[in-house]
Amino acid sequence: MKPSRRAAHIGPFKAPESAALIAAALREDLGRGDLTTRLTVGPRVRARAVLLARRAGVAAGLTVFASVFRRLDPRVRVRLLAREGQAFPMGAVLARLQGPARALLSGERVALNFAQRLCGVATLTKAFVDAARARSRSVAVLDTRKTTPLMRALEKYAVACGGGLNHRRGLDDAVLIKDNHIKAAGSVAAAVRRACLGGLPVQVEVEDDAELEEALEAGAGSVLLDNFTPARLRRAVERVRLFKRASGRRVLVEASGGVTLKTIGAFAATGVDRISVGALTHSAPALDLSMEFELR
Catalytic residues: 109, 146, 178, 205, 226
Quick one: CA dihedral 35, 37, 40, 42, positive or negative? negative
Per-residue HEC secondary structure of the chain comes to CCCCCCCCCECCECCCCCHHHHHHHHHHHHCCCCHHHHHHCCCCCEEEEEEEECCCEECCCHHHHHHHHHHHCCCCEEEECCCCCCEECCCCEEEEEEEEHHHHHHHHHHHHHHHHHHHHHHHHHHHHHHHHHCCCCCCEEECCCCCCCCCHHHHHHHHHHCCCECCCCCCCCCEEECHHHHHHHCCHHHHHHHHHCCCCCEEEEECCHHHHHHHHHHCCCEEEEECCCHHHHHHHHHHHHHHHHHHCCCCEEEEECCCCCCCHHHHHCCCCCEEECCHHHHCCCCCCEEEEEEEC
